[in-house]
A and B are shown apart, each in its own frame.
Chain A
């Protein structure tokens, strides 16, 4: 199904990113790395389903040129923290309580994963999380890691 994979080639230049005041996300520090940005919330059931997968990605690509950032969009950070504690997760979390980052990346469904190549370009956007698509999600990362 083509529906889950949409290719976004949107320019997310600094000049369009002046959204609402929000948590910061300076991706420049990850230049040269493949970045997997996962937008999630504590109230989103498929997000919960995706966490074990994200953990797996994180550990599987640990030695590679790969960074996974879980961007939480809960309005109330304590809910996110409660969720993470229950999930026993130690993924790197970016708190985006006002949705500024989500707006920048034009997030249209929860969860949404944005896969950014080593060149800093958004290469894949996974809208939603479908367990049967996990091999595809992973293939996208491998492809970008091997692109160099």
Chain B
């Protein structure tokens, strides 16, 4: 029980640190990156984060069934930055 509580506390601390990191990264990112009209390469299909979602899903499932670790990816962001 005590162990459980400690683990939760650690998880909360981890989440807090992660949020701080995200905040830090965001402010560091504020001046990084190309102009809106220089997103031509980002607009390429080959530069998308998940070019073949069905394949990605099948591979992730296959790894999940054999390995102790799983997850970690996400597919938001990048792209042509339009609109």
Q: Establish whether A and B are touching in the complex (CB under 8 Å).
A: yes
Binding site for B on A (CB under 8 A): 39, 41, 43-47, 73-75, 96, 99, 102-103, 107-112, 127-130
B42 → A minimal CB distance (Å): 9
Residues of B near A111 (CB, < 8 A) are 82
B36 → A minimal CB distance (Å): 5
Q: Is the CB of B37 within 8 A of A102?
A: yes
Q: Is the CB of B83 within 8 A of A73?
A: no
Binding site for A on B (CB under 8 A): 35-40, 43-44, 80-83
A141 to B33, CA, bound (A): 33
Residues of B near A107 (CB, < 8 A) are 35-37
A143 → B minimal CB distance (Å): 23
Q: Is the CB of A74 within 8 A of B40?
A: yes
Closest 10 pairs between A and B when the two form their complex, measured CB to CB? A128-B83, A73-B37, A43-B43, A102-B37, A43-B40, A110-B82, A99-B37, A46-B82, A44-B82, A46-B83
A102 to B81, CA, bound (A): 15
In the complex, what residue of chain A is closest to B38 when comparing beta carbons?
A99
Q: Is the CB of A109 within 8 A of B36?
A: yes
Number of inter-chain CB pairs below 8 Å: 51
In the complex, what residue of chain B is closest to A109 when comparing beta carbons?
B36
Known: A43-B44, A46-B82, A99-B35. 12 other contacts (CB 8 A): A43-B39, A45-B43, A45-B82, A102-B37, A107-B36, A107-B37, A109-B83, A110-B39, A110-B80, A111-B82, A127-B83, A128-B82
B50 → A minimal CB distance (Å): 17
Residues of A near B83 (CB, < 8 A) are 46, 109-110, 127-130
Candidates B36, B40, B82; contact of A102 at CB < 8 Å: B36
A107 → B minimal CB distance (Å): 5
A3 to B69, CA, bound (A): 41
A112 to B36, CA, bound (A): 10
A129 to B37, CA, bound (A): 15
B70 → A minimal CB distance (Å): 33
A94 → B minimal CB distance (Å): 13
A46 to B81, CA, bound (A): 10
A107 to B43, CA, bound (A): 17
